[in-house]
């Protein structure tokens, strides 16, 4: 039997550099050393046993002779670990004779006057699986139930529970014994262990005890209350008619002083009853837990419970009345907690309480305005996004939200300001009745904007959506933002005026003597004049940005002025004097910016881009001469394109909502909006009672923690068990080997089948493993003995630390019975661990993608070489082969134009993110059979993931999902 199949209760770290002594050295320390030397020798012996080293029977007698009689507590504790690890049976499965002496030592320890020795021995007996050793100890174990110390009684109950569960014939009256003990016991921990035993072995007795003391449950300790909640859940799950009997008890436990009890009681209450009062009480308990609990991980777990509670349409109506209570969670400092709370509140808010939510979020915005750290900036972004979504969802409150959001235009956090502009653009598009109010607020807020990008975007929105008669007002706003024209002449005259002022002394000091407390003289200085800032130095925002070298604003301003001129010309006529004067003003502004760009007066002396100069020059030519057909491009066609883009974003937002609802429905929660047309109707009266309550949550959570939860069956052969079997040795080798690689979340279990293909008995057949990459071997497989033509399974566990491709090298060494030759060895095939087992598709917004793209340090550029000829097929193949999700919407990549650009994202189970940008085109756009050329850029935070994903992309471009090469289409 391999080490992976043996029962394990204690994990002991074996140092990799530990030097294990020989048996002779250990025997000498046991015989002649003191207690400290014996403890160290016993630890080394335990290391040897855990490593699979064979020890002689005489070594066991040395331990019995020299270590068992000792009364040193540390030595006794290490001895218990030794008796747990050491083999207690011979090769035939019979109990070793030496264990009779050990059994007598157990009996003496169970009668020891020290409660620590008794209790630790009782805990050890819970781990024994040999009834021959336990049978002589049963009277002593029973006697420990009456010991004066609770530590001994508590462990005695656990020992009786384990023995009764494994070997019922040793103590058949255990339920009656523990019931009588429970009636008399006063200690909370002892009562909890006894009640837990009755819960698992005799629920009827546990229910009888609970019925007799149900009124006193509130005064019990929290550990006992938790077991009572578990009992009520299991009983009511199996027999729903019992729910009315115990639901009042669960209600009372919602007021417990223990957060764990309140959490479990709330979950049990929702499972047992769908009455609105019960759901509301459970939700209130969850909210109270989130507010009062300090650990952010606990807050996130309880928030997930609230989100799951919202899955039912009836529950959602109840939770809508608790939106303001849910918003109390925003007082928590964690950003993830706040983001999830805002998302939940936005999903639950209704027209009845949306105004209250908006007022609350206003207060939160005012709180964050005083602090300028990075986390507060991100929190402000989330608040703006929530208000934006609330406005689109409930247009009636837009007039209340607009003034709040406009204050963010002057915020130093550029992301928050960009979210405000996205809101303004969408609100003007979807809420025409508020268009004038929003544009008026935007016009008032533009002069206070601190960021050049935000300034230009706000001006562009004004020019796009303003009415024809408002073009003149926007032009005045532009001129006020620029200041005196022309720019170069006004700047030079301003510098000449400042020179005489700088030569005057700024401060004059007057001194007079002052007598201090000790009688000495000191000098007191007074400022005769205060430093004042000249208004001439306060430059308008657009002028300041241009002097700082932001000449891209000039190119953007050229587009804005052209739109304004086109609208103004339509209103006043093409050849009118007003229209010509308007165009002349626009040309003066652009020519002044070009002159400034070439003059070198900028503070940072940044060279202007030739593209910006060409754009401004071309716009001046359009304003002066006019080009037929181009005015429509700047006017109506531009607005139509914007409306198409906003419509595509709305569709993509709806798709994300649909995916979220689909995942919620798949997780077992009901959806109120999406119901399949062919869904079966369930009649409660006709359904089986055992299925009404669903799956037992306690059993499900335990199986998930142990990794034994049933997984959904996949019909893809490549993902089945046979598809993961790797042949390690050839059919002509003395030992044939093949491995099944089972990849869990953070570890890999290798189940290696070895077959003896010779007619000899092979001894000490050992599987030796070595790893490359971030892989670590957890335990060394135990050697086995193979009879002729026999087979065996060896299991080994490998830990995974990061998302990188790893390689496991392996060999099998063995001895042939009766042979005097050296040890034989079979070299096995390498096992390659694929990165795709740890990568799942990711989903981020465009803003988050750009932020992460600039933050990630490592980039890998892969040139495209593929026999695929269709651009969309190539993109879909990359996404399927690498588990990366295409973030670019279908509206942006549909059509056939000869080139394609798309963004992809993936997450790893280790918290790493990977981004990819695909930029490809057809070598000959008019020829369908021409090859695809271009490149793929990958960015990640770690070098390993970046390089590994690049290798995976390179191989995916040359092969299909099943690993076969793609056949190039015939010309």
Q: So what's the pLDDT on residue 919?
A: 92
CB 457 within 8 A of CB 420: no
Mean pLDDT of 486-505: 66
- The Cβ-side half-sphere exposure at 542, using a 13 Å CA radius, reads 30
**pLDDT digit string, tens, across residues 840-852:** 888 888 878 888 8
At 520 the pLDDT is: 52
pLDDT tens figures, 550-569: 888 888 888 888 888 888 88
The answer, yes or no, to whether residue 256 has pLDDT greater than 80, is: yes
Indicate the pLDDT class of residue 867, thresholds 50, 70 and 90.
Answer: confident
Residue 509 is predicted with a pLDDT of: 45
Q: How far is CA 841 from CA 480, 804, 836, 905, 914, in A?
A: 49, 17, 10, 7, 10
50-68 pLDDT, tens digit each: 776 777 778 888 888 888 8
Decide if pLDDT at 655 tops 80.
Answer: no
pLDDT score of 736 more than 90: yes
Is the per-residue pLDDT at 737 higher than 90? Answer: yes
What is the pLDDT averaged over residues 420-440?
Answer: 80
Q: Kindly provide the residue ranges of all beta strands, DSSP E only, lying in 375-425, ordered along the sequence.
A: none
- pLDDT for the residue numbered 866: 85
Structure confidence at residue 163 as a pLDDT band (50, 70, 90)? very high
Using a CB cutoff of 8 Å and minimum separation of 24, what contacts does 24-27 make?
Answer: 26/59, 26/62, 27/58, 27/59, 27/62
Query: Looking up tokens 């009901």, which residue turns up?
Result: 670
pLDDT confidence of residue 709 = 54
Q: How confident is the model at residue 812 (pLDDT cuts 50, 70, 90)?
A: very high
Residue scoring higher pLDDT (616 or 676): 616
Q: Could you report the per-residue pLDDT of 96-119, keeping only the tens digit for each?
A: 888 888 888 888 888 888 888 889
Which has more pLDDT, 504 or 242? Answer: 242
Burial (CB count within 10 angstroms: exposed 0-12, middle 13-18, buried 19+), residue 949: buried
CA nearest neighbour of 80 among 52, 43, 112: 43
Estimate to the nearest angstrom the gap between the alpha carbon of 679 and the chain centroid: 33
HSE-up of residue 373 (Cα within 13 Å, Cβ side): 5
- CB-facing half-sphere around the CA of 729: CA atoms within 13 A: 23
- The average confidence (pLDDT) of the chain is 78
Quote helix, strand, coil % in the chain, to nearest 5.
Answer: 60, 15, 30
What does DSSP assign to residue 514?
Answer: E
Which tens digits make up the pLDDT trace of 311-346? 777 788 888 888 888 888 888 888 888 888 898 888
Mean pLDDT across the stretch 813-818? 81
- Residue with the bigger pLDDT between 605 and 91: it is 91
Question: Does pLDDT of 3 surpass 80?
Answer: no
pLDDT at 480: 86
Is residue 87 over pLDDT 50?
yes
Rounded (10°) CA dihedral 177, 180, 186, 192: 50
The pLDDT value given to residue 664? 46
Residue ranges of domains in the chain, CATH in brackets: 722-833 (2.60.40.1480), 837-958 (3.30.310.10)
Of the two residues 191 and 627, the one the predictor is more confident about is 191
Which residues does 130 contact at the CB level (< 8 Å), separation at least 6?
88, 89, 95, 99
Look at 198-202, 436-440, 828-832 and tell me which has the smallest mean pLDDT.
436-440
The residue among 379 and 695 whose pLDDT is bigger is 379
Q: What integer pLDDT is reported at residue 713 of this predicted model?
A: 40
How open is the CA angle 92-98-104, to the nearest 5 degrees?
Answer: 130
Tens digits of residue pLDDT in 27-52: 888 888 888 888 888 888 888 887 76
Q: What mean pLDDT do residues 659-675 have?
A: 47
User: Is residue 349 exposed (0-12), middle (13-18) or buried (19+ Cβ within 10 Å)?
Assistant: buried
pLDDT of 499 strictly over 80? no
Top-confidence residue, 898 or 729 = 729
pLDDT band with cut points at 50, 70 and 90 for residue 707? low
Is the predicted pLDDT of residue 298 greater than 70, yes or no? yes
* Pairwise CA distance, residues 343 & 323, whole Å: 11
The pLDDT of 440-465, averaged and rounded, is 83
The structure's pTM equals 0.67
Tracing tokens 């630390």 back to the chain, one arrives at 801
Tell which wins on pLDDT, 701 or 815: 815
pLDDT over 90, % of the chain: 6
Name the residue with higher pLDDT: 743 or 946. 946
Q: What is the pLDDT of residue 20?
A: 75
What mean pLDDT is predicted for residues 469-473? Answer: 80
Higher pLDDT, 530 or 75: 75
The pLDDT, as a whole number, for residue 968 is 44
Q: Is the peptide bond before 635 cis (omega within 30 degrees of 0)?
A: no
pLDDT attached to residue 535 = 45
- pLDDT, residue 159, reads 92
Long-range interactions of 644-652: CB distance < 8 A, separation 24+ = 644/891, 646/425, 646/426, 646/429, 646/430, 648/889, 648/891, 648/892, 649/889, 651/889, 651/891, 652/889, 652/891
Instruction: Report the distance separating Cα 643 and Cα 646, nearest Å.
Output: 5
Kindly state the percentage of the chain with pLDDT values over 70: 80
Over the stretch 267-280, which tens digit does the pLDDT of each residue have?
A: 888 888 888 888 88
pLDDT the model gives residue 938 = 92
What pLDDT score was predicted for residue 962?
A: 44
Instruction: Give the pLDDT band (50/70/90) at residue 832.
Output: confident
pLDDT for 233 equals 82
What average pLDDT does the segment 673-691 reach?
Answer: 55
């Amino acid at each position: 039997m391999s080490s992976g199949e043996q029962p394990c209760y204690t994990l002991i770290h074996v140092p990799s550099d530990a030097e294990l002594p020989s048996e002779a050295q250990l025997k000498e320390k046991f015989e002649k050393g003191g207690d400290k030397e014996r403890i160290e020798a016993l630890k080394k012996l335990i290391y040897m046993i855990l490593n699979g080293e064979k020890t002689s029977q005489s070594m066991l007698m040395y331990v019995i002779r020299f270590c068992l009689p000792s009364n040193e507590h540390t030595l006794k504790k290490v001895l218990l670990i030794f008796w747990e690890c050491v083999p207690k049976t011979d090769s035939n499965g019979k109990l070793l004779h030496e264990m009779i002496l050990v059994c007598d030592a157990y009996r003496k320890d169970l009668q020891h006057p020290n409660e620590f020795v008794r209790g630790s021995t009782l805990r050890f007996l819970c781990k024994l699986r040999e009834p021959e050793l336990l049978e002589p100890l049963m009277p002593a174990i029973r006697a420990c139930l009456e010991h004066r110390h609770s530590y001994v009684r508590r462990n005695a109950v656990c020992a009786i529970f384990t023995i009764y569960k494994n070997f019922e014939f040793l103590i058949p009256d255990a339920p009656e014994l523990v019931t009588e003990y429970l009636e008399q016991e006063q200690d909370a921990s002892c009562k909890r262990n006894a009640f837990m035993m009755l819960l698992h072995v005799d629920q009827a007795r546990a229910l009888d005890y609970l019925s007799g003391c149900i009124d006193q449950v509130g005064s019990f300790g929290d550990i006992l209350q938790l077991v009572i909640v578990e009992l009520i859940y299991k009983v009511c799950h199996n027999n729903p008619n019992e729910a009315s009997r115990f639901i009042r008890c669960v209600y009372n436990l919602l007021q417990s002083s223990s957060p764990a009890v309140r959490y479990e009681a709330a979950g049990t209450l929702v499972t047992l009853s769908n009455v609105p009062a019960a759901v509301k009480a459970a939700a209130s308990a969850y909210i109270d837990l989130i507010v009062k609990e300090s650990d952010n991980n606990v807050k996130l777990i309880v928030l997930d419970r609230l989100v799951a509670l919202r899955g039912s349409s009836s529950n959602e109506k109840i939770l809508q009345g608790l939106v303001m209570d849910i918003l109390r969670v925003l007082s928590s400092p964690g950003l993830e907690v706040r983001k999830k709370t805002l998302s939940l509140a936005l999903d639950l808010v209704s027209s009845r309480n949306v105004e209250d939510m908006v007022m609350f979020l206003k207060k939160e915005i005012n709180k964050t305005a005083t602090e300028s750290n990075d986390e507060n900036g991100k929190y402000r972004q989330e608040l703006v996004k929530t208000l934006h979504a609330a406005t689109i969802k409930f247009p009636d409150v837009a007039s209340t939200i607009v003034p709040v959001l406009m204050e963010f235009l002057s915020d130093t956090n550029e992301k928050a300001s960009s979210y405000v502009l996205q809101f303004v653009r969408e609100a003007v598009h979807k809420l025409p009745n508020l268009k004038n109010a929003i544009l008026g607020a935007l016009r008032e807020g533009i002069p206070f904007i601190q960021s050049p990008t935000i300034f230009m975007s706000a001006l562009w929105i004004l020019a796009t959506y303003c009415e024809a008669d408002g073009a003149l007002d926007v032009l005045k706003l532009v001129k006020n933002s620029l200041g005196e024209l022309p720019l170069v002449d006004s700047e030079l005259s301003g510098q000449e005026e400042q020179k005489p002022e700088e030569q005057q002394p700024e401060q004059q000091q007057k001194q007079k003597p002052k007598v201090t407390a000790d009688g000495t003289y000191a000098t007191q200085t007074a400022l005769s004049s205060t430093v004042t800032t000249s208004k001439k130095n306060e430059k308008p925002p657009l002028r300041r940005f241009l002097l700082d070298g932001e000449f891209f604003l000039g190119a953007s301003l050229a587009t804005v002025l052209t739109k304004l001129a086109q609208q103004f010309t339509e209103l006043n006529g093409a050849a009118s004097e007003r229209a010509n004067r308007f165009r002349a003003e626009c040309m003066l502004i652009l020519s002044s910016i070009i002159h400034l760009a070439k003059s070198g007066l900028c503070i940072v002396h940044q060279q202007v881009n030739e593209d910006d100069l060409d754009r401004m020059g071309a716009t001046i030519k359009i304003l002066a001469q006019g080009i037929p057909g181009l005015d429509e491009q700047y006017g109506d066609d531009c607005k139509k394109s914007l409306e198409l883009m906003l419509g595509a974003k709305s569709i993509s937002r709806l798709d994300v909502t649909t995916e979220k609802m689909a995942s919620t429905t798949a997780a077992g929660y009901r959806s109120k909006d999406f119901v399949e047309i062919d869904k079966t109707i369930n009649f409660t009266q006709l359904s089986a009672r055992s299925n009404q309550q669903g799956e037992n949550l306690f059993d499900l959570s335990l199986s998930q923690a142990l990794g034994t939860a049933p997984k959904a069956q996949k019909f893809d052969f490549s993902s089945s068990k046979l598809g993961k079997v790797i042949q390690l040795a050839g059919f002509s080798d003395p030992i044939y080997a093949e491995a099944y690689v089972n990849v869990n979340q953070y570890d890999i279990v290798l189940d290696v089948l070895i077959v003896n293909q010779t007619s000899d008995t092979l001894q000490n057949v050992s599987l030796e493993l070595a790893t490359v990459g971030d892989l670590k071997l957890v335990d060394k497989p135990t050697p086995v003995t193979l009879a002729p033509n026999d087979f065996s399974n060896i299991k080994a566990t490998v830990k995974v630390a990061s998302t990188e491709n790893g390689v496991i090298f392996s060999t099998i060494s063995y001895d042939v019975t009766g042979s005097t030759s050296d040890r034989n060895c079979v070299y096995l095939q390498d096992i390659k661990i694929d990165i795709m087992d740890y990568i799942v598709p990711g989903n981020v917004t465009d803003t988050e993608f750009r932020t992460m793209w600039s933050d990630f340090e490592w980039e890998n550029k892969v040139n495209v070489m593929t026999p695929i000829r269709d651009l969309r097929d190539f993109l879909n193949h990359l996404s399927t082969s690498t588990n990366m999700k295409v973030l670019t919407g279908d509206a942006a990549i549909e059509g056939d134009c000869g080139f394609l650009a798309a963004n992809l994202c993936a997450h790893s189970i280790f918290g790493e993110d990977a981004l990819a940008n695909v930029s490809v085109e057809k070598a000959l756009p008019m020829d369908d059979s021409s090859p695809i050329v271009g490149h793929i850029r990958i960015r990640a935070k770690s070098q390993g993931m970046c390089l590994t994903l690049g290798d995976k992309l390179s191989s995916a471009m040359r092969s299909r999902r099943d690993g076969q090469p793609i056949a190039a289409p015939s010309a």
